[in-house]
Amino acid sequence: MASSASRFGHARWSEVAVLAGPALLLFTGFVLLPFVMAVVFSFTNVKLLQTDRIEWTGLDNYTRMFALKAVEAPPAASMAGQPLPASRQWRALKRAAPADFEGYQYLSDLSLGGRHYLVGARDPQFLRSIANTFLFALLVVPLQTALAFAMALWVNQAFRGRVLLRTVFFSPVVTSMVVVAAIWGLILHTEAGLANQVLREIFGADAPQPDWLGDPHLAMLSIAIMSAWQGAGFQMLIFLSGLQGISIEQYEAADVMGASRWQKFIYITLPGLKRTLVFVGLSTTIMAFGLFTQVDVLTGGGPMDATSTLIFHSMRVGFREQDIAYGSAMTLFFFLFVLLLSLGQKRLMERLGR
């Protein structure tokens, strides 16, 4: 009896400890312990190099993330015949009543019910970073999914060289993102970059020369295109696996019935890839919310915070500004958000599988 109680399946407890112990030790030291520390730090005011002056602050770091203040805009003042910008109006109100606006910075302005309001936040960069993160996901998820799907359909055909083509399509995935971002930084350079040189060759010397990474309206789109190019090879393999899992008999029966290529795509390929499409879309979305390296290498969050994302802002606050407590609160918020998104993915996959 004692011998059987000391066994774990077909292995003894000592054998399990020897085999699993190193992995569990690494997991505890590099995943579990840092996570617990981040949770604890998020309720304090700890600084990176001032750990001797720690105070318990409760939910202050969490309220700081979402704290907003809206005030009705004063009568429009003007300067040189032009109305003052909303940010200037906010600063004028703050100078007039500093106690009422302490800790708040200008975020945006809006009109509601015929009235104009100025909106401030305790951390406007955090809210802009959330908006930028969602914008990046909206740009990169359909682009990367469509590109990966097209590549999978192509390399799933029977032709010579398809194995080489699969390797070429997948090679950016195994290339360091830092290297990829640095190369694309050279390609998108305003004056000497390949992209603008191609535009000059096609449209002549008067061709538009966009500032791909310096224009707030183009920077996030440029990063999304680069990210979709770099990551599409991984989703291509998932789609390829799904395509090869569709029974060939269905296509043969469709040929006998005289179905066109488009009809086979609509009524056989897409239904057969239903769960694969959902998985790729949701997994790509989760990865998109973790955008950091591309922003850190290419734009540093600029221009004008147009590419600052949730992870980038939390890293900037936690390590560059040394506010570990507030950075931990933001990363914990990100963890909970991704957890809820993953649970939604699981429920959707279960519903599709019924």
CA distances from 24 to 18, 19, 200, 262, 335 (A): 10, 10, 57, 51, 21
Which pLDDT score is estimated for 274? 87
Q: CA angle, corner 21, sides to 19 and 27, nearest 5? A: 125
Q: Domain 125-352 has what CATH class? A: mainly alpha
Instruction: Give per-residue pLDDT as tens, 73-113.
Output: 877 654 445 667 888 888 888 888 888 888 899 888 888 87
For the chain, the farthest-separated pair of C-alpha atoms sits apart, in whole angstroms, at 94
d(CA 331, CA 65): 12
Which pLDDT score is estimated for 80? 47
- Judge contact between 63 and 337, C-beta under 8 A: no
pLDDT beneath 70: ranges in the chain: 1-11, 51, 76-83, 352-354
Which pLDDT score is estimated for 315? 92
Which pLDDT score is estimated for 222? 95
**3-state SS record for 257-298:** CCCCHHHHHHHHHHHHCHHHHHHHHHHHHHHHCCCCHHHHHH
Instruction: Give per-residue pLDDT as tens, 23-55.
Output: 899 999 999 999 999 999 999 998 887 767 788
Domain map of the chain by residue range? 2-41, 68-121, 125-352
How far is C-alpha 46 from the geometric centre of its chain's CA atoms?
Answer: 27
Strand extents, DSSP E, the chain: 7-8, 11-12, 68-72, 78-79, 82-83, 105-112, 115-121
DSSP secondary structure code for residue 215 in this structure: S
d(CA 153, CA 151): 5
- Single out the residue of 325, 318, 308, 338 nearest to residue 130, CA to CA: 308
